Structure formats: C-alpha cells, structure tokens
Amino acid sequence: MMNSTQVSYLRLAAYVDTGLLKYVYFLIVLCVYVFIVGANVFLIVVICVNRSLHEPMYMFLCSLFVNELYGSTGLFPLLLVQILSDVHTVPASLCYLQIYCIHCYGTVEYLSLAVMSYDRYLAICYPLQYSSHMSANRTATLIALPWLYGLLACLIMICLSSSLQLCGNIIQKVYCDNHAIIKLACADTRLLNTLGLFSSFCAVGFPFMVILYTYMQILKVCFSGSKQTRQKAVATCSPHLASVLNFTFGVSFELSQSRFDMRSVPAQIRILMSLYWFLFQPLLNPLVYGLNMSKIRILFQKVFSLPRTIYRSSM
C-alpha cells in the first residue's frame, strides 16, 4: 500500500498514440487556447478602460472573463505538453494544483452565472429600484463571494484528497480529476463522496435553482408586461441564457463520466465530453456577450475602424 506522499507522479491513461497526428492536435488546441486568451483579455481591457461600461452587468462579465482565463490556464498548458509527450505522466503536486484550478473554475463559473441572473432579475423586474438594490458595494460583494467560496471550498477538497492513501496512480482522463483520485484510494471514501455530493450541490445545484427562480420571475414580467419590456428581456437575457445552457451541458457531461460507467462510449467521445466545459464555455462567452451587448459591440467597431480611419486620412 502506498500513500499520496509516496506517489511521485500520476499517469493520464486516456491519451492514445496518434503518431504524427499529435502535431495537428497540438496546433488545433494551441489555436483554441490563443483565441480564448486573446478574446477574453480584449473584453476585460475594453470593460476596464471604458467608464461607460463600469456598470454592475459589465463588472460581472469582467469577473466571468477573468474566470475563463483562469480555468483555461489551469488546463491548456499541461494539455499541450501531454499531447506532444510520449509518456503521459504528471508530478503529483502539479496534478493536485490542476485539480484545484479546474474545480475552482467550475465553481466560480456557475456561481457567477447565478449572480448575473439575479442582476438581470432586478433589472427587469424592479427597474426603478435597480440602482438602490445594486449599489457599488453590493456589486463588489456579489463579485467576490463566488471567488471566495470557490477558492476556499476547493482548498478544503484538495487537502482531504491529498491525504488519501492511494493504491494506484493511473487516471483514465486527459487531465487530473479529483473524483478519479478518490477512486484510487485504498481506504473507505464514503465520507468524501458524501462531501463531494454536498459540494456539487453548493456549486451546481444551488446556483441552478437561483437561475431557474430568477428566469421564472422574468418570464412572469414578460408575459404581463409591454412589448418593450419583452424586447429588453430578450436582449439582456439571451446571452446569459446561452451561457448557462452551454455550461450546464458541459457540467452534465463531466458529472456523467465521473459517476457512471462510460466504457461503452468511444474514447474520443469521452475525451470531448470531458473537455467540453473547458473548450466551448471560454469560446462561447466572448462571442455571445461581445456580439450581443450593444455597448461592447459599438466599442469593438470603433477600435477596429480606427486604423482604417487613420489610413484614409493619410491618403
């Protein structure tokens, strides 16, 4: 029997030998990562430098984009190294660090989406009282709470997982995963599994109920309100709803792989399902928010029309 301090490395067994195709996969994943970083950094800068965007909705968006960068950086650099490597091993300390980043990303993402749904609920259902309800202090608190909870809850989870006695070091994934670590434990893990379910409820179940409640209230106002109210609700809620649905699908794919036997599903499909919430959420959010939010879209057009204006004036 060996414990976690004696395990110097963990092996990621979901990788298969693809020959020269690994360089193609590397370039594809690298391009995705570069786009995610570029798009999210651009929108963070746009929101930060333009005072007209210093409103609660855009501050929540800025926090969301920062989380996309955080989660992507927790996954992609190690993923790129592993794609090119012939020996898919990860030092135990680095593996636990990746688990911490990944789970913190997921927790902060869903809690932030719940906070944003609450913000939209106030803006649509109580437009006259919105400014008093969503003060600067309350906005800062609502931004900080998901991060504080995510960082603390995941720290506790990692402390418990890293103290487990392990009877193996093989993880059937392309990245480190906490539930996979627990499966390697020699001791009884029922208590940890119960804590994991409770943590999943706090990170996914509770935010989902908040989002569901706020959208039910928004729908009531839309059905009883004017056409202008419905148009405002559609314009402000459609990007958020698309983000919620996309991330919910990704989390569902991940939880189904962690909790159920998926060996009958082809390996390539399982890999794509496990990576879905890292690939498509950071890709989707900059697109749906950047293109649908009128203020961001107008500023985006001004930035990219500026070089043309300068060129024409020099003619």
Instruction: Quick: pLDDT tens for 123-135.
Output: 888 888 898 889 9
Return the pLDDT at 310. 44
As a whole number of angstroms, the distance between CA 174 and CA 177 comes to 9
As a whole number of angstroms, the distance between CA 262 and CA 280 comes to 21
In this prediction, residues 207-225 reach a mean pLDDT of 88
Return the pLDDT at 256. 76
Return the pLDDT at 44. 92
- Within 10 angstroms of residue 168's Cβ, the number of other Cβ atoms is 13
Model confidence at 300: pLDDT above 70:
no
Model confidence at 1: pLDDT above 50:
no
Model confidence at 312: pLDDT above 90:
no
Look at the domain 2-314 and name its fold.
Answer: Rhopdopsin 7-helix transmembrane proteins (1.20.1070)
As a whole number of angstroms, the distance between CA 205 and CA 213 comes to 12
C-beta of residue 82 within 8 angstroms of C-beta of residue 12: yes
Strand stretches in 155-277, DSSP E: 165-166, 170-171
Angle, vertex CA 147, rays to CA 140 and CA 111, nearest 5: 90
Computed from CA positions of residues 149, 246, 291, 237, in that sequence, does the dihedral angle turn out positive or negative?
A: negative
Scanning 184-225, the segments in alpha helix (DSSP H) are: 190-200, 206-224
Q: Which residues pair with 266 in a beta bridge?
A: none
pLDDT band at residue 64 under the 50/70/90 scheme: very high
Model confidence at 84: pLDDT above 80:
yes
Model confidence at 149: pLDDT above 90:
yes
Q: Strands 89-91 and 9-12: what pairing?
A: antiparallel
Model confidence at 179: pLDDT above 70:
yes
